[in-house]
Copies of this chain bind each other. A is one copy, B any other.
Amino acid sequence: LSLSLSLLPGCYEEYSSSSSSTSRAAGMNGNGPSKLVDPLEDPVPGLGTYEDFNTIDWVREKSKDRDRHREITKKSRQSTVALLHSVSDAFSGWLLMLLVGLMSGALAGGIDIAAHWLTDMKDGVCLIGFWFNHEHCCWTSNETTFQERDRCPQWQSWGELITGTSEGAFAYVVNYLMYILWALLFSFLAVILVRAFAPYACGSGIPEIKTILSGFIIRGYLGKWTLIIKTITLVLAVSSGLSLGKEGPLVHVACCCANILCHLFTKYRKNEAKRREVLSAAAAVGVSVAFGAPIGGVLFSLEEVSYYFPLKTLWRSFFAALVAAFTLRSINPFGNSRLVLFYVEFHAPWHLVELAPFILLGIFGGLWGALFIRANIAWCKIRKSTRLGHYPVIEVLVVAALTALVAYPNSYTRMSGAELISELFNDCSLLDSSQLCGYKQVQPLADRPAGEGLYTALWQLALALVFKMMITVITFGMKVPSGLFIPSMAVGAIAGRLLGVGMEQLAYYNHDSFIFKGWCSPGADCITPGLYAMVGAAACLGGVTRMTVSLVVIMFELTGGLEYIVPLMAATMTSKWVADAFGREGIYEAHIRLNGYPFLEPKEEFDHSSLAVDVMRPRRSDPALAVLTQDGMTVGEVEALVESTHYSGFPVVVSPESQRLVGFVLRRDLLISIDNARKRQEGVVSASTVVFTEHALAQAADAPPPLRLRGIMDLSPFTVTDHTPMDITVDIFRKLGLRQCLVTHNGGHVVFEDTEEEEALQVVHQTSFTPLLFYS
């Protein structure tokens, strides 16, 4: 007791000297607080950085940035150059957003055009030039009328080209075979490129981006090779006809762009927290270009992927999302001034009675979402645990062949997912000649009885539904870029359209029954099957991803009217509730857990009633907590202590007797500093004392010079008391983005624990780093 009290006057001196200069991050630079260093420089290389597959310390990163900012502001008062630097620094965030928007928008446009071209390549070739897609080829030809613009002599199917006629079984077989061959070629190229150059380019990327945004580091996941290979293979995978979409991977592509562009600005290159703000905005950009929905994109980033989303990021995300949407629109990949293939305009109102089928669609979406997640995760586990996982190329080829084989005969599975959705969303106008509009013409602009064409279409759609539901389960998770949005929406849109047509026929033939009487008189256009398709698509996507508001807003931006928000809302909410009843995880959380990424779900409530003392590490049966003392250990002792444990950091206490907490040192910083000192600093040997105090104690004259490490010590480690309930502790971890937290009990005494029983925290424990580190 006397020892600790005798130290206190010295500590008071620290207050006065440190209050003017120290700050948490400046102290990280390996210099004592008495000598203020430029926080922009890094004297010991590697100090303050992180290893791969580790979690960042948000508080430290934000602190570092604040110090940087303060430094620049201070300097800006001194000279004009510094002032200009300060202004450019302030605007660099906006400039970066502009660049991210432009680059992502341009890439998305390129992907759209290339995928369109390659998809048509499976069917035939343009004789004017092979680089034209079907539509463009016939536009260029100028010989066709507006009605028949998809049939022109310049575009020949493979069968026509080879057999000389477009009719007959032989031409059909040739077409069929060429379709399968191209599909195999595209998928083979995709999987080979991914395996050879960028293994991270596979999958949708959203689970990993969620994890990265929560603070985890996966080097190379957002690198230039991933970007290049993902862009190319995404086009190939989409064109191969596999049941996957490009919408999810576009988020990954946008994040890669953002990460690469971050290297242009010191502010974002050197700070992991700042870079994650940019990545959050990039996620918004990805959805903005995928669906042409800038506001929906921002809400998607906020609701689904982001972890730390301050208001500043909201503004910037919005800006970047808009820039990207406008870039994409200037490229005009679909030739209709629209951002997406399935922009829709409905005009007929809906009636309150229709809420019943809409909610039914919601239930279907929820059931399908829950079922899909279970089946997909089970399949992925089989892939991981059996020999199947060793042959990804063969797996992709088999699935691609199977898909092409089954899909070709049915026109609704042969067309791409986006085209299918576009056709299903579409309301039948008078001139529409597609099978889905095969009504008997009784009265225009009204509900009509179904004709032969429509019945055929319904059968084909039902078959397509079953096929899509099954093939998507085994497709998602293969080693090619694959998004889930389009296949999920397609499943929902088919189900919705079937129900919509059913309702329409029911209303037509029973317009006098009590249900339809009063709002659906004969000759009125009271049921819009396209709207049902849209509601179904939203419900299924909601069931799989558990998005709600962002999904409704995306759909709202597709229709551009408040009118249909209530049906969409009713369906997505029902879908979420139904799906949640079978398991609270969305597909992305399920994949995060499957891959064992450390992720502390920000949405979930922590339901256990344990205290910090119950989950901290080491447990009571473990050896006592390894601590450093502030001036009593030699370099050799410290090294031995670090070697003997696997903890990622060590509390520094006043003395072994008093155990009063002084600060916290990270293992990595400690090792780097000692290593550096041994190499560069003269006289530092194993017998040198390691000193964490401001002023070293008097030493014998022949003793080696002490190694002063106060600079790398965190003087303000986070502490909670041992009685703090775990829900509050988890809240602190989430909200402040902590890496570890020390547990104290009335001051000293050493215990040092980590978590195992708690489910949410168990995830955190699976990493190489131990983020929860308690000290009592």
Chain B residues with CB below 8 A from A318, complex form = 549, 552, 569
Residue A311 lies at the interface, judged by CB distance under 8 Å to chain B: yes
Residue A228 lies at the interface, judged by CB distance under 8 Å to chain B: no
Q: How far is the CA of A501 from the CA of B191 in the complex (A)?
A: 59
- Of A47-55, A360-368, A727-735, the one contacting chain B is A727-735
Q: How far is the CA of A653 from the CA of B311 in the complex (A)?
A: 40
Chain B residues with CB below 8 A from A325, complex form = 562
Indicate whether A716 sits within 8 Å of B727 (C-beta atoms), given known contacts A11-B745, A294-B565, A303-B311: no
Residue A480 lies at the interface, judged by CB distance under 8 Å to chain B: no
Shortest C-beta distance, A711 to chain B (Å), equals: 13
- Of A415-423, A481-489, A670-678, A717-725, the one contacting chain B is A717-725
Contact B562 A294 (CB under 8 A): yes
Which of A19, A73, A292, A556 has most chain B Cβ within 10 Å? A19
Main SS of chain A's interface residues?
helix
| 9 intermolecular pairs with C-beta atoms under 8 Å apart | A8-B745, A294-B562, A315-B548, A318-B549, A318-B552, A322-B569, A325-B562, A557-B562, A719-B719
Shortest C-beta distance, A200 to chain B (Å), equals: 28
Residue A256 lies at the interface, judged by CB distance under 8 Å to chain B: no
Q: How far is the CA of A322 from the CA of B727 in the complex (A)?
A: 33
Residue interface bits A1-17, CB-to-B below 8 A is 1, else 0: 11011011001000100
- Contact partner, A661, options B556, B603, B747, Cβ 8 Å: B747
Indicate whether A746 sits within 8 Å of B661 (C-beta atoms), given known contacts A295-B553, A556-B295, A715-B723: yes
Q: How far is the CA of A722 from the CA of B662 in the complex (A)?
A: 10
Shortest C-beta distance, A408 to chain B (Å), equals: 37
- Of A445-453, A462-470, A607-615, the one contacting chain B is A607-615
Indicate whether A748 sits within 8 Å of B747 (C-beta atoms), given known contacts A70-B609, A716-B725, A725-B23: yes
Indicate whether A610 sits within 8 Å of B747 (C-beta atoms), given known contacts A314-B303, A603-B311: no
Indicate whether A561 sits within 8 Å of B562 (C-beta atoms), given known contacts A611-B19, A746-B654: no
Residue interface bits A311-348, CB-to-B below 8 A is 1, else 0: 11011001100100110000000000000000000000
Residue A24 lies at the interface, judged by CB distance under 8 Å to chain B: yes
Contact A611 B18 (CB under 8 A): yes
Shortest C-beta distance, A597 to chain B (Å), equals: 20
Shortest C-beta distance, A162 to chain B (Å), equals: 45
Contact A1 B657 (CB under 8 A): yes
Q: How far is the CA of A529 from the CA of B661 in the complex (A)?
A: 68
- Contact partner, A747, options B4, B609, B716, B736, Cβ 8 Å: B4
Residue A66 lies at the interface, judged by CB distance under 8 Å to chain B: yes
Residue A414 lies at the interface, judged by CB distance under 8 Å to chain B: no
Contact B314 A549 (CB under 8 A): yes
Q: What's the number of copies of this chain in the assembled complex?
A: 2
Shortest C-beta distance, A369 to chain B (Å), equals: 17
Q: How far is the CA of A580 from the CA of B537 in the complex (A)?
A: 44
New contact pairs (13) apart from A63-B725, A658-B747, A719-B744, CB-CB < 8 Å? A1-B1, A4-B747, A23-B609, A24-B728, A295-B553, A303-B314, A318-B569, A557-B562, A715-B721, A719-B719, A719-B721, A731-B736, A736-B736
Chain B residues with CB below 8 A from A553, complex form = 295
- Contact partner, A724, options B66, B716, B721, Cβ 8 Å: B716
Residue A59 lies at the interface, judged by CB distance under 8 Å to chain B: yes
Chain B residues with CB below 8 A from A69, complex form = 605
Residue A383 lies at the interface, judged by CB distance under 8 Å to chain B: no
Shortest C-beta distance, A688 to chain B (Å), equals: 24
Chain B residues with CB below 8 A from A303, complex form = 311, 314
Contact B314 A63 (CB under 8 A): no
The residue on B at minimum CB distance from A67 is B609
Residue A110 lies at the interface, judged by CB distance under 8 Å to chain B: no
The residue on B at minimum CB distance from A659 is B747
Contact B23 A746 (CB under 8 A): no
Chain B residues with CB below 8 A from A548, complex form = 315
Residue interface bits A221-248, CB-to-B below 8 A is 1, else 0: 0000000000000000000000000000
- Contact partner, A721, options B19, B315, B560, B716, Cβ 8 Å: B716
Q: How far is the CA of A723 from the CA of B16 in the complex (A)?
A: 11
- CB-CB contacts below 8 Å: A661-686 with B: 661-663
Contact A4 B746 (CB under 8 A): yes
Q: How far is the CA of A70 from the CA of B608 in the complex (A)?
A: 8
- Contact partner, A736, options B5, B735, B744, Cβ 8 Å: B735
